[in-house]
A and B are shown apart, each in its own frame.
Chain A
């Protein structure tokens, strides 16, 4: 085996240096370190390139008809590339003041628009949502889960949020993380849960 000892290897001509021919193997021995301070192409994807999350621990109430933003979940995210994909995940603990449905959707506040791929298909007059839940008593609450894959519309900061709509409209109150009564008691009915909205950016090629 021949050995050369040198501190730096640079191209003799031009700016490219080839390492061997097809079939050759270059080995970095155990204990040695190969450190990239420049750009490495073709060495595998990073997978997850960004994560942001917003957790809410309080108990908020919202009244009104039609879509209402739950501002606790505003989450500003700047995608690294429009070729990447954003996984939206939300765990929502919620209740309302009458036995009725609550529907939810992810929404882009910056674009003032629904998010492609994050709402149900159009079908007559029916509202289009990401996911939904219901409530049967003011003593009760439930946890539901929303998920969607989103294509970033640009690489600028976008404020995403969650909107909710309760079936009984303005005469009804929605509540986050607790039952509708929100009584200060140590019964299970009155426990607080936590709600969370998370965005994970996946590098192009993973999905």
Chain B
């Protein structure tokens, strides 16, 4: 026969710690019962995606930087505070860009540390500029939506402002539209949107 006690509160007899069971035993919360944590529960988190933040970037913006310079995409900044530097930050973005018959590229940037995020952008090779991803437009009528996927190592557990940056081969780059930007209802001149998302992934799985 199962033994049972009826009390309204269980407290440590001495000190401030109490053990629930022992190795090999099971403490069970029966179906229909609610257990609420109003304090701190360690190692109970069921999910491995700990937090996420996202920003939608609308509108056409000029990407006029060339060479080793970069243009920050306005309204693309996410302030993100990592819970642990052992975790990893998954950066995912669909970046829409264009140029007038040549190349354009884009990258992630940490405005707080004034540096590219670790593992988030190629550092460059020789005189070659590093970027996260790149594409081209054969003419001013076209544009492309391309992926930017990276697992970033957080530099610290403070707030860091991350943003999108772009640059173009001849300085005629734009976001979310084609280069020509004619006001008519054809596909060439469509407006798109970009979504920049950061997810913190637990160190237990990455």
Q: Hey, what's the 0/1 contact readout for B112-123 against A, CB within 8 Å counting as 1?
A: 000000000000
Q: How far is the CA of A207 from the CA of B22 in the complex (A)?
A: 37
- Min Cβ gap B119→A in Å is 19
- A102 to B46, Cβ gap below 8 A? no
Q: Is B19 close to A, CB under 8 A?
A: yes
- B3 to A7, Cβ gap below 8 A? yes
Known contacts being A128-B191, A167-B186, is A101 close to B141, with CB within 8 Å?
yes
Q: Hey, what's the 0/1 contact readout for B173-203 against A, CB within 8 Å counting as 1?
A: 0001110000111111111110101000000
- B17 to A43, Cβ gap below 8 A? no
- B8 to A202, Cβ gap below 8 A? no
- A30 to B23, Cβ gap below 8 A? yes
Identify the closest chain A residue to B95 (Cβ).
A145
- Min Cβ gap A32→B in Å is 4
Q: Is B67 close to A, CB under 8 A?
A: no
Interface size for A (C-beta < 8 A) is 88
Size category, B interface: 35 or more
Identify the closest chain B residue to A10 (Cβ).
B6
Q: Is B11 close to A, CB under 8 A?
A: yes
- B192 to A129, Cβ gap below 8 A? yes
- A32 to B22, Cβ gap below 8 A? yes
Q: Is A120 close to B, CB under 8 A?
A: yes
Q: Which residues of B contact A102 (CB under 8 A)?
A: 187
Q: Which residues of A contact B49 (CB under 8 A)?
A: 47-48, 202, 206
Q: Please report whether the interface of chain A is mostly helix, strand, loop or mixed according to DSSP.
A: loop
Q: Hey, what's the 0/1 contact readout for B33-58 against A, CB within 8 Å counting as 1?
A: 11111110100111111111110101
Q: Which residues of B contact A43 (CB under 8 A)?
A: 37, 41, 44-46
- A9 to B183, Cβ gap below 8 A? no
Interface-lining segment among A71-79, A131-139, A154-162, A185-193: A131-139
Within 8 A of B (CB), among A3-57: 4-14, 16-48
Interface-lining segment among B103-111, B124-132, B144-152, B159-167: B144-152
- A120 to B10, Cβ gap below 8 A? no
- Min Cβ gap B180→A in Å is 11
Q: Which residues of A contact B36 (CB under 8 A)?
A: 40-42
- Min Cβ gap A166→B in Å is 6
Q: A9, A22, A37, A206: which contacts B7 (Cβ < 8 A)? A: A9
Within 8 A of B (CB), among A136-156: 136, 142, 144-149
Complex A-B, nearest 10 residue pairs according to Cβ-Cβ distance, in ascending order: A47-B47, A31-B23, A131-B145, A44-B45, A120-B191, A42-B37, A47-B49, A145-B147, A134-B142, A38-B33
- Give the A-binding residues of B (Cβ under 8 A): 2-14, 16-39, 41, 44-54, 56, 58-60, 92-94, 96, 137-138, 141-147, 176-178, 183-193, 195, 197
